[in-house]
């Protein structure tokens, strides 16, 4: 088994395959997902069929607008998993006694997945558009941040989903700064952008962002109105300990996958 880093000992533990995908509420997408042989699936807009193992909202998603959506964020895994319910934010030795819960059920879920490399805190996060996407993701990150503060959960973390957030707005559009602020918050929380870490340098072909050769986008979405524009609204983040073993991370932005959803799956492999 090949070495991941020059100064890193070769591991005898099997790699962990993680998939992020917006399934667009399509039941037929499940058979396609199975072909990826993922150990942990971080799903959004998922209608989870009977027989699957994992954590999700059984009643779908309810926004602050009180509208009911039939799909949910979901963590699905063949490994044993359970909902994280007791993560607590803390400052030094002071533990904050606040409940760990989602104010918009179905917009995010957090699970402890018992993998071969140890318990992984897996979070599926959707940028629910009951409000503007930056406010939506900020709200969810505030609720989720205890996972990244609590020593019981923060060592091995994967967090991903369709955030409905991106930095490919026209020049001088205020949402460039607003959405960049959202993405910067993941970094401030100590997480590593896995797609960005493994993409080749240079501008994404066809990208309309204002970053020039500093472009860091990876196509994850096909908008039927503008199919030639390579939008990115989907992301996968990992804690530094997991990211140190990141072997590969790519978005499967092909016609084959866009036939199932307007979003491409992200597939990452982590070697412990």
72: CB partners within 8 A, 6+ apart = 46, 47, 48, 56, 57, 58, 60, 61, 105, 106, 109
Residue 2 placed within a domain: no
Sort 66 into a burial class: Cβ within 10 Å, 0-12 / 13-18 / 19+: exposed
> Does 11 map to a domain?
no
Q: How many domains in the chain?
A: 1
pLDDT over 70 percentage in the chain: 96
Say what the pTM is.
0.94
pLDDT at position 15? 94
Q: Quick check: 6 pLDDT over 50? A: no
**Residue 271 above 50 pLDDT?**
yes
The answer to whether the beta carbons of residues 261 and 233 sit under 8 Å apart is: no
SS3 62: strand
On the question of pLDDT at 75 being above 80, the answer is yes
Predicted confidence (pLDDT) at residue 2 exceeds the cutoff of 80: no
At 8 the pLDDT is 45
- Quick one: pLDDT band at residue 7, thresholds 50, 70, 90? very low
Is 1 within a domain? Answer: no
Average pLDDT over residues 22-38: 97
Helix (H), strand (E), coil (C) string for 24-37: CCCCCHHHHHHCCC
Specify the pLDDT at position 169: 93
Has residue 23 got a pLDDT over 60?
yes
pLDDT at 10 (0 to 100): 56
- The pLDDT-based confidence of 206 (bands split at 50, 70, 90) is very high
The range of the structural domain enclosing residue 51 comes to 16-270
pLDDT of residue 272: 81
Q: pLDDT at position 93, please?
A: 79
Question: What is the average pLDDT across 132-136?
Answer: 96
- pLDDT > 90: percent of the chain: 89
* Domain-located, residue 46: yes
Domain-located, residue 10:
no
Residue 151 lies in a domain: yes
pLDDT for 182 equals 97
Confidence band, pLDDT 50/70/90 cuts, at residue 5: very low
Shortest CA distance to 166 belongs to which of 211, 123, 124, 197?
A: 211
Higher pLDDT, 7 or 197: 197
Q: Is residue 8 part of a domain?
A: no
In a domain, 168, yes or no: yes
The enclosing domain of 34 has a CATH number of 3.60.10.10
Per-residue pLDDT, averaged over 51-70, amounts to 97
Residue whose pair of structure tokens reads 């590969």 in the numeric block: 248
Q: Is the pLDDT of residue 45 over 90?
A: yes
Q: How confident is the model at residue 185 (pLDDT cuts 50, 70, 90)?
A: very high
Cα–Cα distance between 49 and 26 in angstroms, integer? 11
For the segment 8-18, what is each residue's pLDDT rounded down to a tens digit? 455 678 899 99
- pLDDT tens, 141-161? 999 999 999 999 999 999 999
**pLDDT at 4 > cutoff 90:** no
């Amino acid at each position: 088994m090949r070495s991941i880093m020059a100064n890193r000992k070769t591991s005898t533990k099997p790699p962990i395959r993680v998939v992020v995908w917006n399934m667009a509420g399509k039941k037929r997408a499940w058979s396609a997902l199975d072909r990826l042989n993922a150990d942990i699936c971080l799903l959004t807009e998922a209608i989870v069929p009977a027989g699957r193992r994992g954590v999700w909202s059984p009643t779908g998603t309810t926004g602050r607008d009180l509208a009911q959506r039939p799909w949910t964020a979901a963590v699905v895994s063949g490994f044993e998993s359970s909902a994280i319910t007791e993560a607590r934010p803390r400052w030094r030795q002071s533990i904050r006694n606040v409940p760990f819960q989602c104010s918009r059920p179905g917009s995010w879920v957090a699970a402890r997945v018992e993998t071969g490399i140890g318990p992984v805190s897996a979070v599926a996060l959707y940028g629910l558009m009951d409000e503007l996407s930056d406010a939506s993701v900020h709200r969810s990150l505030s609720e989720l941040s205890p996972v990244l503060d609590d020593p019981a959960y923060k060592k091995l973390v994967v967090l991903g989903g369709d955030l409905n957030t991106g930095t490919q707005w026209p020049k001088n559009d205020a949402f460039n700064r607003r959405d960049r602020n959202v993405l910067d918050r993941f970094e401030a929380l100590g997480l590593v952008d896995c797609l960005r870490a493994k993409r080749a340098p240079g501008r994404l072909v066809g990208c309309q962002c204002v970053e020039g050769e500093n472009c860091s986008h990876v196509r994850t979405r096909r908008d039927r109105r503008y199919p030639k524009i390579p939008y990115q609204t989907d992301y996968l983040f990992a804690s530094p300990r997991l990211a140190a073993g990141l072997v590969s991370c790519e978005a499967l932005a092909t016609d084959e996958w866009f036939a199932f959803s307007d979003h491409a799956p992200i597939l990452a492999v982590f070697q412990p």
